[in-house]
C-alpha cells in the first residue's frame, strides 16, 4: 500500500510542471485564465458620442474643409480601419445603440422594441443616459421628422425602445453648459444640415467645433471621453468610416486593427461593467487606453 502511495505522489509531481510549461490547464483554471483582463479598463466619468452621416474615412481625413475633425483625429485614438455594419443609416444607429439592427433594414418608421439596449443597461446599473438631438421639438417627441428643424427620428435610436424613459429623449438645447451635470453616457445627434447628410462638410465641422469643443477641452481635465463617429460611408469605401476617441485616458495615435460599431458598443459597456448586448458579445474591447496604475 505504501509503495502504491509513493508511486501516485511521484506521478503527480511529474504532471504538475506540465501545467505551467505550455500544456493545457485544468478546465476550471482555463476558465479563470480566460476571464483575466488583457487590456486596461480605465474609470471614465462621462462619455459623449457624436454621430455624423454618410462619409467615408478618406473623404474626411486630411480634408481642408474639416480642420476641427482632423484636429480631433490627431489628438485622440484614431481608428483608421473602422467600419459601419450595413446600409442605410437607421440600422447602423440601432447596431451601435443595442448590438443589433432589431430586424430593421431601411429608414422607415420602426415598431417599438422591448429588447435591451445601452440606455436601459446604464439605468439598471444606477447610471444615467441622455440622448440629445438637434431640432427635436420637445422632450419625448416621437414623430418621424420635423421639417422646420431638419430633425429625423431615423437618427434617434433610443426613441424606438419601450424600456427607455421618454425623459432622456431631449433636444440639443438641453445639453448642459455645466458638463459635470452630463449623464454618464450621452449621444449627440446633429440635425441633417449639421451631420453632413444635407449640409456640407465645412458646415458640420464648424457646428461640431462651436458646440462640442468646450466639452472636449473640459474632458481632458475631468476624466471624461469624447467619441466622434459616422453611421455609414457613402458606399465609396466599403463602409470604412472615421472614428476617434479623445480623452485623458486614451493613447494617442492611429490604430490599424479592424473594428466596427459593435466594438465601440462593447468598449463602452466594459468601461461601465455592463454585459455585452447582441453582436457586441463577439466584438472586442478596443485596446486604445493608457495602462491603469
Could you tell me if residue 292 is inside a domain? no
Domain shared by 26 and 170, yes or no: no
> Using an 8 Å Cβ cutoff, are 200 and 153 in contact?
no
E strand spans, the chain: 46-52, 77-79, 82-83, 129-133, 145-146, 151-152, 169-171, 185-189, 224-230, 243-246, 253-255, 259-260
Domain shared by 69 and 178, yes or no: yes
Pairing of strands 224-230, 77-79: unpaired
Could you tell me if residue 262 is inside a domain? yes
Domain shared by 138 and 244, yes or no: yes
Domain shared by 224 and 196, yes or no: yes
Q: Give pLDDT < 50 ranges for the chain.
A: 1-37
Q: How many domains does the chain have?
A: 2
Domain shared by 153 and 19, yes or no: no
> Among candidates 274, 284, 233, 278, which has minimal Cα distance to 115?
278
Could you tell me if residue 108 is inside a domain? yes
Range of the structural domain that residue 20 is part of: 1-36
Alpha helices in 232-275 (DSSP H): 261-271
Could you tell me if residue 217 is inside a domain? yes
Domain shared by 190 and 234, yes or no: yes
Residues 228 and 233: their CA atoms lie apart, in Å, by 14
CATH code for the domain in which residue 196 is found: 3.40.720.10
Could you tell me if residue 50 is inside a domain? yes
Q: What pLDDT is stored for residue 32 in this prediction?
A: 29
Domain shared by 99 and 233, yes or no: yes
Domain shared by 111 and 190, yes or no: yes
Could you tell me if residue 56 is inside a domain? yes
Q: What pLDDT is stored for residue 39 in this prediction?
A: 62
Q: Give the global pTM.
A: 0.87
Q: What pLDDT is stored for residue 293 in this prediction?
A: 75
Domain shared by 82 and 21, yes or no: no
Domain shared by 90 and 172, yes or no: yes
Domain shared by 25 and 56, yes or no: no
Could you tell me if residue 22 is inside a domain? yes
Could you tell me if residue 293 is inside a domain? no
Domain shared by 88 and 161, yes or no: yes
Amino acid at each position: 500500500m505504501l509503495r502504491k502511495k509513493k508511486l501516485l505522489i511521484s506521478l503527480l509531481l511529474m504532471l504538475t510542471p506540465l501545467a505551467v510549461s505550455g500544456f493545457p490547464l485544468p478546465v476550471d483554471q482555463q476558465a479563470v485564465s480566460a476571464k483575466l483582463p488583457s487590456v486596461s479598463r480605465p474609470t471614465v466619468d462621462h462619455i459623449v458620442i457624436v454621430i455624423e452621416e454618410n462619409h467615408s474615412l478618406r473623404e474626411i481625413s486630411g480634408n481642408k474643409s474639416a480642420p476641427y475633425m482632423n484636429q480631433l483625429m490627431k489628438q485622440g485614438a484614431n481608428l483608421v480601419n473602422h467600419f459601419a455594419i450595413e446600409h442605410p443609416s437607421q440600422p447602423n444607429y440601432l447596431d451601435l445603440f443595442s448590438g443589433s439592427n432589431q430586424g430593421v433594414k431601411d429608414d422607415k418608421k420602426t415598431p417599438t422594441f422591448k429588447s435591451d439596449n445601452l440606455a436601459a443597461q446604464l439605468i439598471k446599473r444606477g447610471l444615467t443616459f441622455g440622448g440629445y438631438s438637434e431640432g427635436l421639438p420637445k422632450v419625448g417627441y416621437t414623430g418621424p421628422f420635423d421639417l422646420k428643424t431638419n430633425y429625423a427620428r431615423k437618427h434617434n435610436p433610443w426613441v424606438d425602445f419601450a424600456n427607455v424613459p421618454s425623459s432622456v429623449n431631449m433636444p440639443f438645447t438641453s445639453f448642459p453648459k455645466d458638463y459635470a451635470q452630463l449623464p454618464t453616457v450621452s449621444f449627440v445627434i446633429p440635425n441633417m444640415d449639421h451631420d453632413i447628410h444635407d449640409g456640407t462638410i465645412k458646415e458640420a465641422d464648424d457646428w461640431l467645433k462651436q458646440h462640442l469643443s468646450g466639452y472636449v477641452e473640459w474632458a481632458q481635465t475631468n476624466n471624461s471621453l469624447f467619441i466622434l463617429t459616422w453611421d455609414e460611408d457613402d458606399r465609396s469605401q466599403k463602409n470604412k468610416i472615421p472614428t476617434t476617441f479623445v480623452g485623458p485616458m486614451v493613447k494617442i495615435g492611429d490604430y490599424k486593427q479592424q473594428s466596427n460599431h459593435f466594438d465601440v458598443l462593447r468598449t463602452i459597456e466594459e468601461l461601465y461593467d455592463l454585459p455585452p448586448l447582441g453582436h457586441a458579445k463577439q466584438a472586442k474591447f478596443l485596446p486604445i487606453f493608457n495602462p491603469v496604475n
